[in-house]
Amino acid sequence: MPFYQKKKFLVILISPSAGGKSTVARELLKDRTKFSYSISYTTRSPRGNEQNGIDYHFIDETEFKKRIEKGFFLEYARVHNNWWYGTSLISIKELLEQNHHVVLDIDVQGALQIKSSELDFVSIFLLPPDRNVLIQRLRDRGTDSEEIIQTRLKTAIKEIDLITSFDYLVINDDLDNTIEQVLRIIVSEENKTKRYKNIKNIFYGG
C-alpha cells in the first residue's frame, strides 16, 4: 500500500484551570512516535516537583516582556492578572518539521491568539461535567487558597462563554473516555483532504 504523507498540525487542548488539559496532554505524549510537546514559558514559581526545562521554562517578568517585544512567542497571556505564560514560535515550527503533531495545553487567551496565526491546528475544549466537579478538582489540587479558587472559577465562567470559538468540545468526565474521544478527533483531522500532501504523486506521477 502506498505511503500517504499527511501534514502535521498543532493539537490545542483548552480548558479552565483544573479542567484536565495537562492530564490529557500527558496521556497523548506517551506516544512519542506521533506527538511532541512544546514546553511553555512562565513567570510563576515551580509547584511541587516541577523542574525548569521539563515542566516549564521558568523566567522572570522582565525577561518575559523582553521576549514579547522580540516576537519570540506564538501566543502569550497574563493569567488571573498574575502570571505570564507563553509558547515559543521557533520551538513549534521545529517540532512540526520533525513530522510530529505538537500538543499544547493552554488557556483561552492563548488559543485565540493561535487562531489568528498561519499555523495549522485543531482546537479541543475540555470541560468537567458540571460546576461542582470543577470546584472539587480545583480544591483537590491543594495548591491554591480559597480566594484563588474563586478567582479561577470566575475566570472559568468567562472562558466557557467562548467555547464556540473552538473546533471541538469534549466533556472530561472519565479520563479513558476523554482520551479516546480526543484521539478520534485527531484521526478525523488527519484524514481531511487538505492534509494529504502526495496524492498526485501516487496517482498521477506528478
Domain boundaries, the chain: 10-198
pTM here is: 0.86
Task: Specify the 3-state DSSP secondary structure of 57.
Answer: strand
Cβ within 8 Å of residue 197, ≥6 positions away = 5, 6, 7
C-alpha cell at 74: 506564538
Beta bridge partners of 105: 13
pLDDT tens-digit readout, 78-100: 886 789 999 999 999 999 999 89
pLDDT tens-digit readout, 117-161: 999 999 999 999 998 888 888 888 777 778 888 888 888 888 999
The CATH number of the domain covering residues in 10-198: 3.40.50.300
Cβ within 8 Å of residue 169, ≥6 positions away = 124, 125, 127, 163
For residue 70, the tally of other CB atoms under 10 A from its CB is: 8
C-alpha cell at 201: 504523486
